[in-house]
Structure 1
Amino acid sequence: MRIWKIATALTLIAAAGAFAYFRGDPQLLAGLLSKPADAAVEPAPMQAMPVPVTGVVKKTIPIYLDYAARTEAIRGVALQAKVSGYILGQPAIDGADVKRGDLLYRIDPRDYQAVLAQVQAQTERDQASLDYAKANLDRGSDLTKTGFLSKDSFQQRASAVAQGEATVVAGKAAIQAAEINLGYTVIKAPFDGRLGRNQAPVGTLINVGGAALNTLMQISPIYVTFAPSEAELVLIQKAKAEGPVTAEVTVPGDQGPPRKGELTFLDNQVDHTTGTIIARATIANEDLSLLPGQYVNIRLLVGERPDSLMVPQVALGSNQLGKFVYVVDQGKVGMRLVDLGPTEGSLISVTKGIAEGDQIISGNLQKIGPGMPVTPMSVPES
C-alpha cells in the first residue's frame, strides 16, 4: 500500500511538470494530447554512400595455360675411368662450369707410356724383318728363273713376307690400342656443362668399371617437363599447329622477369591412369640459374580471346553462391554473380554475369549491400 501511494505521488508530480512546460504553448500541448499513442514515427531517409566505380574494359587478352613443372638436364653423364691408375690431378674444381674439351681429370700415364713405347719398338723390329724378307724374295725371284733356287724355297720366302706384313699390321694395331689407352689417362668434358661433387680425390687408385669420378650436367639450354591434361592437350595441339608455342618459366619466390622458351616435345601417348601427357619446353637458361630437378612454374601461350570484358580484381566479392561484383543499378547497389576467365595484370575477365556498359563498384565493398543507395564516383584509369 505504501509503494502504491509513492507511485501515485510521482505520477502527479510529472503531470504537473508537463502542464507547467506546455502552459506557454497551448497548441503544442493540444497537439500532443490529440496524437494517438500508437502512431509510428517515420524514419529519416537513408543517405546515399559515395562509392568509386569503374567501367567494364573490353579488350583482346592472351590465353595461358599454367602448370607446375620440373627442370631436367638435356644431357648428363657419369664420368668414369676406362683405365686403371692413380688420380694425379683435377684441373676443374667441383661445381665448375666447363666447356667441351676442357680437362677434368688426369690419371698417372707412365704405365701406358711404357706400353706404347714397347709396342712401337716391337713394330719397328717387325718392319725391319719384313723389309729383309721382301728383299730376299726379290733375289729369289731372279734365282728361280735361272734354276739356282727351288720353287719350294721361293715359296718359303714369299710366306715369310706375308707373315711379316701381318705382324707389322698387328703391331700397328697394338700401337693404336696403346695410344688409345694413354689417351684415357686424361678425362675431358664431352660437352658444355657443370661439374658435380668430386668422388675421387688426388691420389685415389681407380679401376676400370669402378665408381664414377664425378657427374657432368648440361644446363644451358635446359628442359622443363610438365603434364597437361587431355582437355588441355587439344588447345596445345591446335596452337602448335599454328606455329611455335611460347613458354614462360618462373621460379617460386623469384621476382625477376620470366625466362622465355618454346614447347619442343609432346609424348606419343596419354597416361590412362592420370589422364595426362608428358610435355616439355626448352629454355635457354643463359645465366645458368636453373638447375636440373628444380621446381618451377611454366605458362604456355596457346591463343587469344578477343572482346573480353575485364573488371578490376579488387572489385570481386565471394559468398556461398560464388564470385560476384557490385554494380550501380538506378542509384542503388546491385549484385551480379559472375563466371571468371583469365587475368591480365590488375584486371580479370568475366565470361558471364555483366554487360559492357555496367558501372562496377570497386571500393567500400565492406560497407555496402544489395539495395543500398549509392552515389557513384568515377575512378581514373591507371
Structure 2
Amino acid sequence: MRNMIYSLMLFIFMGTALLFSGCGRGQKEAKRPAPVVTARAEVKDAPYVLATVGTIKAAVSVNIKSRFAANIKKVHFVEGSLVKAGQVLYTIDPAVNALTEQQAGATFQRDRADYEQLERDLARYKTLADQGVISREQYEEKHTATVRAKNAMRASGAGASIARQTLSYNTIASPIDGRIGATLFDEGSFVKDKDDILAVVNTTTPLEVSFSLPERYLAELRRQYSQGTLAVEAAPPGMEAHPEVGTLTFMDNQVDPGTGAILLKARFLNPEGRLWPGQFVTVGLVLKTIKDAVLVPSSAVQNGPEGTYVFVVKDGHAEMQPVSVGVRVHESVMIDKGLRGDEVVVTEGHLRLFPGAAVSEEEGADKEPGQKPGGKPPAKTADKPATGAATGNETGQSAK
C-alpha cells in the first residue's frame, strides 16, 4: 500500500514538472518575433480604371466565296498564313466559263462585221439617193438596218465583256491584307452554292475590342470622352502584367434596356500580334486620374469580421489598422480611409500576427508600391498615370 502511494506521488510530481517546462517553452516561443515581409504605403497620382471583359474582333473580316457553282481546281495558300490584297487564293475550273467567253466573243465579231458592211452599204445608198437612182425610202430602210446592226454589235460587245468578267471570277483573290483561316473546300471539291464560304480573311492589325459598362458610368464617361481621347487596356489570359494599350473609338447611341449596359469599342494597333480575333480579354478603361492616392500592395489588405484591415508595423510591433479599400491599380489597391501614406504595412506573414505582436522584418523583393522599410519614405509625387498595366477595378465601384 505504501509503495503504491509513493508511486502515485512520483507520477504527479513528474507530470507537474513536464507541464511547467512546456509552459516555459510556449512563453519563450510566444515572445519570439514573427518574421514578416513589409512594404511602405505610397502617395501618388493613380488612374481610375473601370474593368470588365471584352471580345476581340477583326477590324475587317471578309468571307471568301465563289460567284457560281464550280469545282475547286487549285488552292494557292497555306492555311493560317498572312495574305496580301490581290493575292490569288483559289482557281475555279474555267472550262464552262472559257467556252462561254469564246462564244460571246465570236458573236461580237460577227455583229461587228455585219455593222461595218451595212455602214459601207449605207454610204453607197446615200450617194445613189442623192443622184436620184434609188428612192428615199430605200435609203431610209438601209439606214434603219444599219442602226439595228450597230445596236446589236453593242449588245454583243457587252455580252463579251460580261463573259470575260465572268471568266476572271475563276481566279479568287484576297481583297484585303490579313491572315487567312482554314480552307473549307479542298482541291477537287465542288462548290454547289454561291453562298458557301471557302475561307475567312481577318485583319490582325489593327483590331477592335468590344465591351460593355454599366449605365451608371454613362454621364462621367460622356464627359471624359468629350474632353479628349480615353485610353483602354486589353490583356489576354496570362498577359495581365503587360496589356496592349488602345483608344476608345465608339460609344453606342443607346443603353441596352435588357442589360442596362452601354456598348463600347476600342481600337488597338497590335503591332506584335499578341491579340487574336475571337479572344476574351480583360479590359480596363482609364476613366480619369485620382490625385494623391494612397496605395499599398493588394496582399497587405486582409478581411476580418468587422471589415478590411492592414497590419501596420510600429516600433517592431504589429498594430491592426482598419481601412476602407477603393479601386485596384496594377498589383496595388487604393486606400480611401485609414492610412496617410507613409506607414509600413505587412504584406506576408499575417498568420502569426495579432494586435501588439512583435515582428521581425525580413529581407524580401521590393513590392509595388514603396520600398524596403529601412529606406527613406517616398515623397508625394505627381507621376503620370500608367495606362499600360493590368487592372482589376470592379465595375461595381462608383465613379468618383
Shorter-chain TM-score bucket reads: 0.7 to 0.9
Segment of structure 1 superposing worse, 254-263 or 364-373? 364-373
Corresponding position: 1:223 with 2:208 = yes
- Per the TM alignment, residue 320 of structure 1 is displaced from its structure 2 partner at its CA by 1.5
Corresponding position: 1:139 with 2:134 = no
Corresponding position: 1:128 with 2:113 = yes
Look up the match of 2:375.
380
Match for 2:66: what amino acid?
A
Cα 1:376–1:174 shift into 2, 3 Å: closer
Does the CA-based 8 Å contact 1:61-1:305 persist in structure 2? yes
> Over the residues paired in the alignment, what is the CA RMSD in angstroms?
3.2
Does the CA-based 8 Å contact 1:52-1:379 persist in structure 2? no
SS of 1:174's equivalent in the other structure is: helix
Look up the match of 1:26.
none
Corresponding position: 1:302 with 2:287 = yes
How far apart, in 1, do the equivalents of 2:351 and 2:285 lie? 37
State TM-score, norm by structure 1.
0.79
2:232 pairs, out of 223, 244, 247, with 247
Corresponding position: 1:349 with 2:344 = no
Match for 2:301: what amino acid?
L
Cα 1:156–1:332 shift into 2, 3 Å: same
Corresponding position: 1:189 with 2:174 = yes
- Per the TM alignment, residue 91 of structure 1 is displaced from its structure 2 partner at its CA by 0.6
Write out per-residue CA displacement over residues 327-382 of structure 1, whole angstroms, 9 at most, x where no aligned residue. 36799754332111234455432111223465545565434433557799943369
Write out per-residue CA displacement over residues 258-277 of structure 1, whole angstroms, 9 at most, x where no aligned residue. 22211111111111222111
Does the CA-based 8 Å contact 2:58-2:277 persist in structure 1? yes
Does the CA-based 8 Å contact 1:116-1:179 persist in structure 2? yes
Corresponding position: 1:82 with 2:43 = no
Look up the match of 2:134.
149
Cα 1:208–1:49 shift into 2, 3 Å: closer
How far apart, in 1, do the equivalents of 2:297 and 2:274 lie? 35
How far apart, in 2, do the equivalents of 1:364 and 1:208 lie? 68
Corresponding position: 1:160 with 2:145 = yes
How far apart, in 2, do the equivalents of 1:311 and 1:137 lie? 99
Cα 1:360–1:207 shift into 2, 3 Å: closer
Look up the match of 2:80.
95
The alignment covers a number of residue pairs equal to: 344
Where structure 1 has 5 or more consecutive residues not aligned to the other structure, the ranges are: 11-42
How far apart, in 1, do the equivalents of 2:297 and 2:184 lie? 56
Corresponding position: 1:176 with 2:171 = no
Write out per-residue CA displacement over residues 88-124 of structure 1, whole angstroms, 9 at most, x where no aligned residue. 1001122222111110100121322222222222212
Look up the match of 2:259.
274
Corresponding position: 1:233 with 2:208 = no
Segment of structure 1 superposing worse, 257-266 or 309-318? 309-318
Q: Percent identity at matched positions?
A: 26
- Per the TM alignment, residue 314 of structure 1 is displaced from its structure 2 partner at its CA by 3.7
- Per the TM alignment, residue 242 of structure 1 is displaced from its structure 2 partner at its CA by 2.1
Match for 1:366: what amino acid?
L
Look up the match of 2:93.
108
Cα 1:332–1:196 shift into 2, 3 Å: closer
Does the CA-based 8 Å contact 1:310-1:347 persist in structure 2? yes
Does the CA-based 8 Å contact 2:295-2:341 persist in structure 1? no
How far apart, in 2, do the equivalents of 1:359 and 1:254 lie? 30
Match for 1:352: what amino acid?
K
Segment of structure 1 superposing worse, 202-211 or 225-234? 202-211
Does the CA-based 8 Å contact 2:129-2:136 persist in structure 1? yes
SS of 2:321's equivalent in the other structure is: strand
Match for 2:210: what amino acid?
T
Q: Which has the larger radius of gyration?
A: 1
Write out per-residue CA displacement over residues 235-293 of structure 1, whole angstroms, 9 at most, x where no aligned residue. 33233222211122111123773222111111111112221111111122333343322
Segment of structure 1 superposing worse, 296-305 or 309-318? 309-318
Structure-to-structure mapping, 1:313-332, within 5 angstroms:
313-327=298-312
Match for 2:239: what amino acid?
D
How far apart, in 1, do the equivalents of 2:205 and 2:283 lie? 17
Write out per-residue CA displacement over residues 178-230 of structure 1, whole angstroms, 9 at most, x where no aligned residue. 01110110101011222222222212233352532222222322211111111
Write out per-residue CA displacement over residues 42-71 of structure 1, whole angstroms, 9 at most, x where no aligned residue. x99x97958877654221112212111111
Does the CA-based 8 Å contact 1:48-1:375 persist in structure 2? no
Where structure 2 has 5 or more consecutive residues not aligned to the other structure, the ranges are: 10-26, 363-372, 379-400
SS of 2:289's equivalent in the other structure is: strand
How far apart, in 2, do the equivalents of 1:78 and 1:361 lie? 56
| Structure with greater contact order relative to length (CA < 8 Å, sep ≥ 6) | 2
Does the CA-based 8 Å contact 1:81-1:207 persist in structure 2? no
1:59 pairs, out of 44, 68, 73, with 44
Look up the match of 2:323.
338
Corresponding position: 1:293 with 2:288 = no
Does the CA-based 8 Å contact 1:54-1:379 persist in structure 2? no
